[in-house]
Structure 1
Amino acid sequence: MVCKGICTQHKAQRIHGINRYIQGQKMCSVCAIFIYWDGKHCPCCNFVLRTKPRNSKNRRQLQIIQTVKRI
């Protein structure tokens, strides 16, 4: 699993003040880049994309927004 550089075409820009995962961005741990991608795997290295933040503060924020969307 090596980055081939394809993911840079799908690179997502950061909007300050809003969590990247809430915006619909996903992170590839191998390529170390946030991308907009509908699939579960990185188009570049085929590694599974992270869809949830590791940080507990951001994780709680994402859970709150997801529960509001369900209601």
Structure 2
Amino acid sequence: MSPDRVVQLRWEPRHVADDGGATLSYPGISVVRTRQGEVVDRVWVPVGEEPTFADDEALIAALRAAWCWTRPAA
């Protein structure tokens, strides 16, 4: 693993305003990649009360991609 490449998981709800002015909030997890302290990528994956197989697979894919990114080719 490279010390200049860091992956963080953050619980980050998304807030969206609808046409009527009400704000809706969606819970989710952000997978944030930083290189030397600068954010280079962010993937947000929704997390619901009853996650589906597709939700689980999306999170696994985001985590795997982030893990592979921390291990640059020699």
| Superposed pair shares fold, TM > 0.5 | no
Normalised to the residue count of structure 1, the TM-score between the two structures is 0.28
Structure having the higher strand fraction is 2
Report which of the two structures shows the higher radius of gyration computed on alpha carbons: 2
Structure having the higher helix fraction is 1
